[in-house]
Amino acid sequence: MIKSVIFDLDNTLIDFMKIKRASVEAAVSSMISAGLRMGKDDATKALFELYDEYGIEYQQIFQKFLEKVHKKVDYRILAAGIVAYRKLQLGLLGPYPSVVPTLIRLKERGFKLAILSDAPRLKAWIRLTEMGLADFFDVVITFDDTGELKPSSVPFKRVLKELDVSPEEALMVGDNPSRDIKGAKNVGMRTVFARYGDTKDIKSSGADFEIDSIDELLAIVKR
């Protein structure tokens, strides 16, 4: 019997990569206006290559970018990029359609809800708070809480312990088969692939269930 539903955050509750790309493009445009001598397409491509190298949550990405393409950090250009990035990200940040009604229904049915994210603790909590979702969750486990990234069993075992449920009583919902689905199945949890958040055109997720909208969860937990 399922007693708890555990969610990944980015690309499961929020369209993270859409927000990331739009924010990066705004930052690049602002940096060019501030003196960056580079075309927008080339600059955007270079930034995402650095994200691939250092991680999508890397905090010093614009500094690394300027060191690489400008040979030094010009703080006028840096500030312009950071401010534009933050303004657009804040304006776009919001949950996928049906997230809030689905969470309300799950809480009404008595399910314990949790977040299991590879994001840094503060970033995860800021996103949840800005979206008005923080109060839905009984437990929030981030990278800073375990020092391990999914699919390591450590964060999955930690969230189960905090929820006080067995693996068989938990359902993991995520967009990344190699992290969310694999890690959850390795500890004995049932899994749901959030196909609507797939950015890599996954053909086979290996999950027990696949959904195209988060409200489809309601039928799954009812079984």
Give yes or no for residue 223 having a pLDDT over 80.
no
Mean pLDDT of the chain: 94
List, in order, residues 6 or more apart from 162 with CB less than 8 Å away: 114, 139, 141
C-beta of residue 163 within 8 angstroms of C-beta of residue 187:
no
All structural domains of the chain, each given as residue ranges with its CATH number in brackets, are 4-14+95-222 (3.40.50.1000), 17-92 (1.10.150.520)
Share of the chain above pLDDT 90, in %: 83
pTM of the predicted protein model: 0.85
Asked whether residue 166 carries a pLDDT value surpassing 90, the answer given is yes
Cβ(153)–Cβ(186) under 8 Å?
Answer: yes
Asked if pLDDT for residue 3 goes beyond 80, the answer is yes
Rounded-to-integer distance, Cα 221 and Cα 86, Å? 37
| b (16+ CB within 10 A) / e for 51-82 | beeeeebeeebbebbbeebbeeeeeebbebbb
Q: What is the pLDDT of residues 168-209, one digit of tens each?
A: 999 999 999 999 999 999 999 999 999 999 878 888 899 999
Q: Does residue 44 register a pLDDT over 80?
A: yes
Model confidence pLDDT, tens digit, residues 113-152: 999 999 999 989 988 998 899 999 999 999 999 999 999 9
Confidence at residue 193, expressed as pLDDT on a 0 to 100 scale: 97
> Which pLDDT score, from 0 to 100, does residue 89 have?
85
Q: Identify the sign of the CA torsion 5, 98, 180, 221.
A: positive
**How far is residue 150's CA from residue 171's CA, in Å, rounded to a whole number?**
16
pLDDT at 55: 84
> Which residue's structure tokens are 């580079």?
38
Exposed, middle or buried by CB within 10 Å (0-12, 13-18, 19+), for 184? buried
